[in-house]
A and B are shown apart, each in its own frame.
Chain A
């Protein structure tokens, strides 16, 4: 069974204080690893897709990296508007349809 574990569960940062979120996964064969952002009371919003170890993607202050066992989401010089829950999800090669297995998320709070 596919499993995704995210750590830490919560992260409090000062504005400008860079940090990293971790996503460890177990999957029979990885089709893709996905990062989403979720604001309170909203649906998740797609950020990145990573397909193979060594791949990196960047968007503004966010950078996602992938190894064979985990992915990191680096937040560089965060701003208060980066406060959100960040969700990691995996899709297995043999996944029926396009099923995604999500981790529990990391709640990030950036204080000014």
Chain B
């Protein structure tokens, strides 16, 4: 158990709909990351938040948005869903980097939310 909690585990919806995925990071972790994993694209970085502020952005579609709340949990909102959005969406968190920034790639992943768009 990584300590990162994601809900829901499975979600089936229709094209054009909107869904919200939720993530609770490990206790004490300030950074939250969202990744999308599909069969043809592999694991793709979407966005990172650090202590409530956006820190880095990947290839996240304009139809997608995210935020991190004061209690550090994060939500990923996916709207106007298309068939191609079907994928596993992972949330990860990381500890505060040490002084030498030697642990910045050690991410702790949740078990993912499997989204199926019909």
For residue A46, which residues in chain B have a CB less than 8 angstroms away from its CB? 106-108
Q: Is the CB of A49 within 8 A of B48?
A: no
Q: Is the CB of A98 within 8 A of B104?
A: yes
For residue A59, which residues in chain B have a CB less than 8 angstroms away from its CB? none
Q: Is the CB of A43 within 8 A of B104?
A: no
Number of chain B residues close to chain A: CB under 8 A: 30
Number of chain A residues close to chain B: CB under 8 A: 25
- A95 vs chain B, min Cβ distance (A): 7
- B9 vs chain A, min Cβ distance (A): 9
Encode contact with A along B61-95: 1 for CB under 8 Å, 0 otherwise. Answer: 00000000000000000000000000000101010
Q: How far is the CA of A100 from the CA of B31 in the complex (A)?
A: 13
Please tell me which stretch of A18-26, A70-78, A102-110 contacts chain B, meaning at least 4 of its Cβ atoms lie within 8 angstroms of it: A102-110
Interface residues of B (CB under 8 A from A): 2, 4, 31, 33, 42-45, 48, 50, 55-58, 90, 92, 94, 97, 101-112
Interface residues of A (CB under 8 A from B): 31-32, 34, 41-46, 49, 51, 87, 89, 91, 95-105
